[in-house]
Amino acid sequence: MKRVFLAAAAVLLMAETTPVLPPNRETEHIVKQGETIGGIAKRAQVAQSLIVEANHLQAPYALRAGQVLTIPRTRRHLVARGDTPFTIAYLYGVRWKDIAVANNLAANATLRPGQSLLIPTIVAPPTAATSGASQPAASQPAAARFAWPLSGSIRRGFASRSRTSDYHDGIDIAAAPGTAVRATAAGKIAFAGEEPRQFGKLVVIDHGNSWQSAYAFLDRLTVKEGEDVRQGERIGFSGQSGRARGPELHFELRRDNRPVDPEGQLPRLSSSRPATVTPAPKTPRPSPDRQPASTPSRSTGHATRPAASGK
């Protein structure tokens, strides 16, 4: 009896402390006992047909308690000075190609400050749970594949977009200005430059298999777009650019354009401070500690942070 009471108390405590979005703002909904697709659609203020399509549901649309439904919503982005197709696509986790199609734009269209863009909701392909097909083992992330980008305490952790309006797409690691920031895994530099809305000096690495990592609030960059990097190779120095709340590194991991809690993918540590990342062994390739690269010429005009974004 005591054990049942403690479990019930824990559930109540979680309900009181975990922020919950109202139905008309949810992007994910956990089905409760007795709920129907029609009732969920009405409360979410989203067409039932869109929810059915987004979740690959089949008639008669029977739901089960605990099932997680994607609630497709569209958003708008007001282009600010310095915005690029890449930074906008990364900010919302939607490919620029899909944003361009939704706005009837050419893929290489020039953006202008003040331009309003529709950010479409992109529906993920069916998974094994919905299609009945088995997923290959290679689609799962390898254990301890990623390494800590630097040593420091976690100042702010990850917060899921589906759980709270005060979401946070990565973790903020306290770091003294000028601390070397290193690649969490091998890959190709997808972006290295200025993101004016919130990230400041930003590096994004494409690791393949739909994985990307991002390093924001940097003071200087030591890599350029298109370069290959090894795990542990220095990609820049920490700082306080963008909307940093102090000297820190904002670090993100994304898979299929969706933010993933980095702490769930990084090696577990015995203390709250991650161990310093050891650079990969030297090879005939140029040293990872090369001279800082010049930041691509981009405007750094200040813009108001969009309500739909999370740093």
What is the percent of the chain where pLDDT is above 70? 71
CA dihedral defined by 194, 195, 196, 200, rounded to 10 degrees? -70
> Is it true that the peptide bond before 60 is cis, omega within 30 degrees of 0?
yes
* pLDDT at residue number 221: 96
Q: List Cβ neighbours of 105 (8 Å cut-off, separation of 6 or more).
A: 99
Mean local confidence (pLDDT), 129-134:
40
pLDDT over 90 percentage in the chain: 38
* Per-residue confidence band for 299, with pLDDT thresholds at 50, 70 and 90: very low
Instruction: Break the chain into its structural domains and give their ranges.
Output: 2-70, 78-122, 141-264
Model pTM above 0.85:
no
| CB neighbour class for 280 (10 Å; exposed up to 12, middle 13-18, buried from 19) | middle
Query: What are the pLDDT digits (tens) for 27-84?
Result: 788 999 999 999 999 998 888 888 888 788 888 898 999 998 888 877 889 998 888 8
Decide which of 227 and 107 is more confident. Answer: 227
Phi, psi of 301 (to 5 degrees): -55, 140
Give the right CATH number for 78-122 from 3.10.129.10, 3.10.350.10, 3.40.50.300, 3.40.50.150: 3.10.350.10
What is the CATH architecture assignment of 2-70? Answer: Roll (3.10)
CB 222 within 8 A of CB 228: no
Predicted confidence at residue 169, as pLDDT, reads 87
- Summary mean pLDDT of the chain: 76
- Please determine whether the domains at 2-70 and 141-264 fall in the same fold group of CATH: no
Chain segment 157-191, per-residue pLDDT in tens: 998 765 555 678 899 999 999 999 999 999 999 99
Query: Residue 124, Cβ neighbours under 10 Å: how many?
Result: 13
Phi, psi of 219 (to 5 degrees): -95, -40
Residue 265's SS3 state is: coil
Please state the length of the chain. 311
Of 273, 181, 261, 259, the closest CA to residue 218 belongs to 181
Choose the weakest-confidence range: 211-215, 236-240, 258-262, 277-281: 277-281
pLDDT above 70: residue 121: yes
pLDDT of 139 over the 50 cut: no
Contact 222, 292 (CB under 8 A): yes
Task: State the pLDDT at residue 187.
Answer: 95
Instruction: Say if residue 216's pLDDT is above 50.
Output: yes
Does 311 or 225 have the greater pLDDT score? 225
- The confidence band for 124, taking pLDDT boundaries of 50, 70 and 90, is low
- CATH, domain range 141-264: 2.70.70.10
Q: What's the pLDDT band for 1 if we cut at 50, 70, 90?
A: low
